[in-house]
Amino acid sequence: MSSRFEGRTVLITGAAGDIGQAAALRFAGEGASVAVFDRRQDLLSGTVEQCEALGAKVLALAVDQTKPEAIEQGVAEVTENLGVPAVLFANAGYGKFAKLLDQPATDWDRHVAVNLTGTFLLVQAVARRMVEGRAGGSIVINTSSGAVQYSDLLGAYCVTKAGLRMLTIGLASELGNYRIRVNAVMPGVIETGMTGPMLTGPNGMAHRAGLLSDTPVGRLGGPEDVANAVAFLASDEAAFITGDCILVDGGQTIHGHPRWYRSDYRAEMDADWQVVQ
């Protein structure tokens, strides 16, 4: 594997999850010192062990990005121990199915707090240190294909992810003078622990078959597919790319997927949402 990130510090959030872990391993394997955040430090043990096995220096911290003080403290600790991050992959996120009509305010607020406000505060804290360091940097935000393709019963998720898409563009514009590039990846259906329950069992297998039939590359995505895109955008090979939001979905959105639920709109005054098969 190459050493594109030799001597650089890379910070990854949501690093206990499949996509975050895959990204951490990709950067570790390419020579980076890796800082990994998640809500609980014990959840990061697997990621840490695998990154260290690749010879990387690793710092794992429990950071709840709904808490501004935790973000600030975590970023300060990374800077003190590993240096100013040259790369940030803002990956942590939250999603829960619900009808918008029935969505509790607490669930809506959590989507906003984790996906939108938390990501903004994290990026802001890291970008401020990049500016102070006067060495530029690269920020990659994990949005979702839901940022451009609405998925029923995932309204709060899609709305907040769409907000991150515009945040990416705004940050790219405002941070350009400091030679900080900002881009986003928009994954489609990636096989992870989060999507697994929706892709197994009788309904899940039918849904999987439907998705596969409408995915031009002929398969669903894996965490490594996202990690590969993130590593490219963060690298010097993408030095002339900023403010872009790249779909990593195998072409699923060409046909309006992914869609987990559907309702027959011929029925008046009755919304009966069924799993798409």
Looking at the annotation, which residues are catalytic? 144, 157, 161
Tokens at 130, concatenated: 């990049």
Cβ–Cβ < 8 Å for 112, 161: no
Secondary structure of 128-186 in HEC code, one letter for each residue: HHHHHHCCCEEEEEECCHHHCCCCCCEHHHHHHHHHHHHHHHHHHHHHHHHCEEEEEEE
What distance in Å separates the CA atoms of residue 22 and residue 191, rounded to the nearest whole number?
Answer: 12
| CA–CA dist 220, 193 (Å, integer) | 14
As a whole number of angstroms, the distance between CA 118 and CA 103 comes to 20
- Residues 253, 158: contact at Cβ < 8 Å? no
68-82 and 119-133 are packed helices; what angle lies between their axes, rounded to 10 degrees?
30
Beta-sheet strands, E only, within 39-81 = 58-62
